[in-house]
Every structure is written in structure tokens, then in C-alpha cells.
Amino acid sequence: MTLTGTARRLTVFLGEDDTWHHKPLYTEIVHRAHRAGLAGASAVRGIEGFGAGSPRVHTSRLLSLSEDLPVVVVIIDTPERIDAFLPEIEEVLGDGLAVVDDVAVVAHRFRPAEQP
């Protein structure tokens, strides 16, 4: 599927220590997006951040080695497909933030996967 024109972006902000059934929550979200056939999902580890309930800033700087760094999962697809996926996020997200915004796709290029 090639995205063109208006699309919808789902961005989920969480901590790398957040889990779902003993595995990283960001992994669960990316795998659910893949199973749902969404156009793509990326989990990106942040170098510094804090959330509303955090008593401190989490950072990757060497002098203050931190665990639970911020992770952002970004998923972009059609508005209908993102909206249909939102219950999946609501099911698994404990602490964190999920936001949706409309975006303009400038380019979407990929090589189709080779079939075995």
C-alpha cells in the first residue's frame, strides 16, 4: 500500500521499562500494528525526557546513567485504519500518552518484500 495525500499519525509516548505480559510495551505495539497490516511503525528510543508522573528527568548521559528512557512509537496510515487501531492502544497503554494528528504525506516509497 502506498500512502498519498492526507494520512493520520499515531504517536505513543512511553518508557522503555513499560511492559505488556513481561515484554517491552513498544514491542507489543509494533507487532500489533504489523499484524493489523498498517503501513508501518517505528519505535524510537529517546535520549532524555520525563512524563507527567515522573519525579525526575530520565537521561542517557553517561554521568547519570538512567533506565526507563523515553520511547516513542510512530505509526502512519490512513485515517480509517489508524482509528480502527486505537482500541489496541487503549488496551495496552498503562502510563503514557497517545496522540493522533493528521499529516500530509509528501513521499512514500518502498521496495516490495521478496516472496520466498
What are the residue ranges spanned by the domains of the chain?
5-105
Mean pLDDT in residue range 29-55: 87
Q: Are 67 and 15 in contact (CB under 8 A)?
A: no
Mean pLDDT of 75-102: 96
Residue bearing the bigger pLDDT, 65 or 108: 108
38: pLDDT confidence band, cut at 50, 70 and 90? Answer: very high
Q: What is the pLDDT of residue 55?
A: 63
Query: Rounded CA gap, 64 and 66, in Å?
Result: 6
Assign domain 5-105 to its CATH architecture.
Answer: 2-Layer Sandwich (3.30)
Residue found under cell 485515517: 79
pTM of the model: 0.84
- The average pLDDT across 48-61 equals 67
User: For the residues 77-93, what does the mean pLDDT come to?
Assistant: 97
> Per residue, what are the HEC states of 29-70?
HHHHHHHCCCCCEEEEECCEECCCCCCCCEECCHHHCCCCCE
**pLDDT tens, 56-83?**
666 665 555 557 788 999 999 999 999 9
